[in-house]
Amino acid sequence: MDNITHGTLGILAAILVAPPELRKKAALAGFIAATLPDFDIFLISPTDPLFGLQMHRHFTHSLVMIPVLGVLGVLLANLLRRVFRRQALWQGMWLPAIAAVSTHGLCDTWTSYGTHLLWPFTERRESWDLISVVDPLMTLPILTCAILAWRRGSRGPAWLGAAWVVFYLSLCFVQQQRAESAVREWATAQGHTTERLTVKPSFANIMVWRGLYVESGDCQVVCVRPGLTEGTRVLGTSRAPLLSADRLPPPLDKLPADSVAVQDIQRFGHFSDGWMGLHPDDPHVIGDLRYAMVPDQIRPLWGLALDPAQPQQHGKFDNRFRRTAGERWRALWRMITGAER
């Protein structure tokens, strides 16, 4: 999730486990420690554009790294205190920092991006598909609680923030199950056999969900709105051929099987959990079908750009499609508010 949410959860966790006299001071170590895993964005390669993509939410987000990053969080917090000529604090800081950093990988697992939570024991990317990477209804209440807990040096607001996290995630789970049931019902009505069905919340909300399943080698997208006080509605559908390194359209099908480009397709397939399709705006871009700004469309936010004439060159991670036009934002808003009927 976004770093504001990570830092806020870190503050809440640190205050909850810190001794009463250190709660305010532990908030700094908690904030720093909880944001450290995302420093993996600096792990990039000048020759391999996909390296940074593979490294994000990798070993720094693993459970085994929690003690290491917790210690580093305390060190950095004390370094910052020294900069402002404050006395360093060591005793009583370790547990709050470790508690704070432990929230990071778990928090990212709530989303659908995929997190290497159990590295090095498995390369599986954990994703629970409960919440968008940005969700104001999650972040703003706990941010308010964190500020109050810090100012008062009190656990009361921190417990309230923790309770909100549990409540909101429970609501996310209910919405997820309702969305999945609606997608299955729609598929059954169409006479489809659903393979690998999954549902994911659209951007910044849990009102509109993007369902995907495999049917006859295609990716079927079904957008549903499980309203909180009304029945679930299907807002739109779309379909596209599902691609893999062994199933590519022209001109990408001419790439040699042992080429660097095909190896990159395999790596991108692992990142996207196999949900790959040709981007409608560029025939040389294989898109990640899990995400689209308008959730009933086959118009991925990012993809792997390849040059068929240069099979031994690495592909490029192409995220220019994230710069969506205002009409797409308005279309999503109409879906969220229920105006899209």
Model confidence at 231, pLDDT cuts 50, 70, 90, reads: confident
**Phi and psi at residue 249, in whole multiples of 5°?**
-85, 165
pLDDT of residue 327: 85
- For residues 318-330, give the mean pLDDT: 81
The set of residues, in sequence order, having a beta carbon less than 8 Å from that of 309 and lying 6+ positions away, is none
What are the distances in angstroms from CA 228 to CA 121, 134, 198, 225, 233?
39, 20, 20, 9, 12
| Whether residues 235 and 108 fall in one domain | no
Q: Is residue 180 part of a domain?
A: no
If you ran DSSP here, which 8-state letter would residue 1 be given? -
- For residues 157-168, give the mean pLDDT: 98
Higher pLDDT pick, 49 / 323: 49
pLDDT of 101 higher than 90 = yes
Q: Is residue 229 part of a domain?
A: yes
**Phi and psi at residue 143, in whole multiples of 5°?**
-65, -45
Residue range of the domain that includes 71: 3-172
Percent of the chain with pLDDT over 90: 91
pLDDT of 341 higher than 60 = no
| Whether residues 149 and 278 fall in one domain | no
pLDDT of residue 146: 98
| Whether residues 197 and 168 fall in one domain | no
Tens of pLDDT, residues 187-212: 999 999 988 999 999 999 999 999 99
CA angle at residue 33 from 203 to 18, to 5 degrees?
115
| Whether residues 199 and 85 fall in one domain | no
Q: Is residue 71 part of a domain?
A: yes
- Cα(100)–Cα(10) distance, rounded to whole angstroms? 4
| Whether residues 198 and 337 fall in one domain | yes
The Cβ of residue 323 has, within 10 Å, a number of other Cβ atoms equal to 7
Q: Is residue 185 part of a domain?
A: no
Model confidence at 320, pLDDT cuts 50, 70, 90, reads: confident
Tens of pLDDT, residues 234-245: 999 999 999 999
| Whether residues 194 and 168 fall in one domain | no
Tens of pLDDT, residues 125-145: 999 999 999 999 999 999 999
Tens of pLDDT, residues 14-34: 999 999 999 999 999 999 999
Higher pLDDT pick, 324 / 321: 321
Tens of pLDDT, residues 270-308: 999 999 999 998 999 999 999 999 999 999 999 999 999
If you ran DSSP here, which 8-state letter would residue 298 be given? S
| Whether residues 161 and 202 fall in one domain | no
CA-wise closest residue to 105 among 151, 68, 145: 68
| Whether residues 23 and 139 fall in one domain | yes
Quick check: pTM over 0.85? yes
- Cα(180)–Cα(30) distance, rounded to whole angstroms? 36
Model confidence at 322, pLDDT cuts 50, 70, 90, reads: confident
The answer to whether 313 and 261 have CB atoms below 8 angstroms apart is yes
Q: Is residue 182 part of a domain?
A: no
Last residue of one domain, picked from the residues 172, 204, 222: 172
Helix residue ranges, H only, 94-222: 94-109, 136-152, 155-189
Write 318-323 long-range contacts (CB < 8 A, 24+).
318/282, 318/285, 321/279, 321/281, 321/287, 322/293
Mean pLDDT, the chain, rounded, equals 95
pLDDT of residue 195: 86
